[in-house]
Amino acid sequence: MFENLTDKLQAVFRRLGQRGILRESDVDEVLREIRLALLEADVHYKVVKDFLSRVRERAIGAEITKSFSPAQQVVKIVHEELIATLGEPGRLDLKGPAPYVVMMVGLQGSGKTTTVAKLARHLKQGGHLPLMVAGDTYRPAAITQLEVLGRQLELPVHSEGQRVPPPEICANGVREARQRGYDVVVLDTAGRLQIDEEMMAELEAIKKATHPTEVLLVADAMTGQEAVNVATGFHQRVGLTGLILTKVDGDARGGAAISMRAVTGVPIKFLGSGEKTDALEVFHPDRLASRILGMGDVLTLIERAETAFDQEQAERMERKLREASFDLEDFLEQFQQVRKMGPLSQVLDMVPGLGKLAQNVSPEDTDRQVKRVEAMILSMTPEERHNPRTLDGSRKKRVARGSGTTVQEVNALLNQYRQMQQMMKQLGKGKGGMRGLARMFG
């Protein structure tokens, strides 16, 4: 989402890095370019003005550190002020007597129903027993969509069709949760415009009937600066306690994420980064600021790896590495595990220094390439997978025919495998090498 903004900011810092001394005129020139980059990214002009004022005051003030170059000094200040603009991380308030009610609101098409399921899954993983309530009786198939998602996640859904008023459905859902021992109720409400008086009154009625501990606005990050007006409108009517930004994996310019917290004062609690139900990240302002400045996001990468990699698999892999028995089946397994962490472009973007490479990686191309690797390995016999040296010319032709690839691609795969094997042998000779490599695999 921040690709263009990141490119522009990094270009500014590169030019600044060519200067030996940080003068006031240099600061003003850099701030002009940062202002243009932020405005082009659709950041609210008031937020830009306040942000640059703070950066300028610090950049030409008494905070110059001899251990930093001018570029590093400005990057440090911009990073810290960006974190301040994004605000303190918001967390769900699940205190007091259960069930806790989380009411989801937003515009039509913001991805609210899918986000209800994502949040319920997140709560389930955190040890809660969530109940989803289908309170959107206006959109065709909204109830069916939530029921299908509930079956996929093995989570209960309370629904009463389209004829019962939404405030009554939501109140009945809370009552059912109390009777059946569910500790969190996630209410799906119909999408509406903040200027639609009748629909906004209905939201107020739902809030009055259910007494939610959280009222979360699901906002489409691709709506840009208009998302700030949307958040303000909803906040005035139903009193928002948090924001969930969806579609942050799209080609939005990123301004909404930077602006909404500063203008509304409502904390961002989650980021939705895909269509799947596991594509929901807890919001961390420091990590997002690092991504915007092209510094990567190693902590989120580690969290994804911990989710994707099984402890038992990691221990088994460590034994194989120690015994130097890593074969093509293991190679395929690791390929598939990395794939679970999300699109390769997203994974690369989190590694410091590889953000630029991520821009050249298409998720579709990556998926296609992984499938070709899978097809080649699955076209081999078990003996060939365990001992690739048995693959002579005729066998390679058979594998290529069976996988719809070429002999050259089969050779390239075998070269990759040999390089990885060689790397493992070298790591295995070094002190702690095996342990470090095992950590890399999960």
Residue 173 has pLDDT above 80, yes or no: yes
Per-residue pLDDT tens digits for 257-300: 778 888 888 888 998 877 888 888 888 888 777 777 765 544 55
C-beta separation of 34 from 9 below 8 A: yes
For domain 3-86, give the CATH superfamily.
Answer: SRP54, nucleotide-binding domain (1.20.120.140)
Which of 64-68, 99-103, 398-402 shows the lowest per-residue confidence on average (mean pLDDT)? 64-68
Which range of 19-28, 50-59, 74-83, 165-174 scores highest in mean pLDDT? It is 165-174
Cβ neighbourhood burial of 176 (10 Å; 0-12, 13-18, 19+):
middle
Three-state DSSP at 349 gives helix
pLDDT number for residue 381 = 92
Residue 415 CB partners (closer than 8 Å, separation 6+): none
> Residue 413: which of 421, 194, 80, 364 has the closest Cα?
421
Q: What is the pLDDT of residue 439?
A: 44
Quickly state the pLDDT bin for 304 (edges 50, 70, 90). Answer: low
Kindly state which CATH superfamily the domain 302-440 is placed in.
Answer: Signal recognition particle, SRP54 subunit, M-domain (1.10.260.30)
pLDDT of residue 431: 43
Q: Higher confidence at residue 334 or residue 251?
A: 334
> Bigger pLDDT: 363 or 245?
245
236-247 residue pLDDT tens: 889 999 999 887
- Please give the average per-residue pLDDT across 343-372, as a whole number: 59
pLDDT at 174: 96
Backbone angles phi, psi at 101, to 5 degrees: -105, 125
Tokens found for residue 174: 């809370």
Question: Residue 441 has what pLDDT?
Answer: 39
The residue-averaged pLDDT of 128-150 equals: 93
Which residue has better confidence, 140 or 112?
A: 112
pLDDT digits (tens, 9 = 90+) for 123-134: 999 999 999 999
Tell me: pLDDT of 159 over 70: yes
Domain ranges of the chain: 3-86, 100-295, 302-440
41: DSSP letter: T
In the predicted model, is pLDDT for residue 86 greater than 50? yes
Structural tokens at position 148: 């299908």
Residue 187 confidence (pLDDT) above 90: yes
Q: Is residue 412 over pLDDT 60?
A: yes
Please state which architecture CATH assigns to domain 100-295: 3-Layer(aba) Sandwich (3.40)
Looking at per-residue confidence, does 75 or 175 come out higher? 175
Q: Mean pLDDT score of the chain, rounded to an integer?
A: 78
Phi first, then psi: give them for residue 283, nearest 5 degrees: -75, 130
Is the predicted pLDDT of residue 420 greater than 90, yes or no? no
Query: For 140, phi and psi rounded to 5 degrees?
Result: -60, 135
For the segment 208-225, the average pLDDT, to the nearest whole number, is 86
290: tokens are 């690092």
Share of the chain above pLDDT 90, in %: 29
Question: pTM of this prediction?
Answer: 0.66
Residue 151 tokens, joined? 């079956």
* C-alpha dist (Å) from residue 64 to 21, 55, 72, 73, 76: 11, 13, 10, 7, 11
* Cα dihedral value 75, 78, 248, 339, nearest 10: 30
**Interval 381-402 mean pLDDT:** 91
Ramachandran region, residue 304 (left: φ > 0; alpha: ψ -120 to 50; beta: rest): alpha
**pLDDT for the residue numbered 401:** 93
The SS3 call for residue 272 is: strand
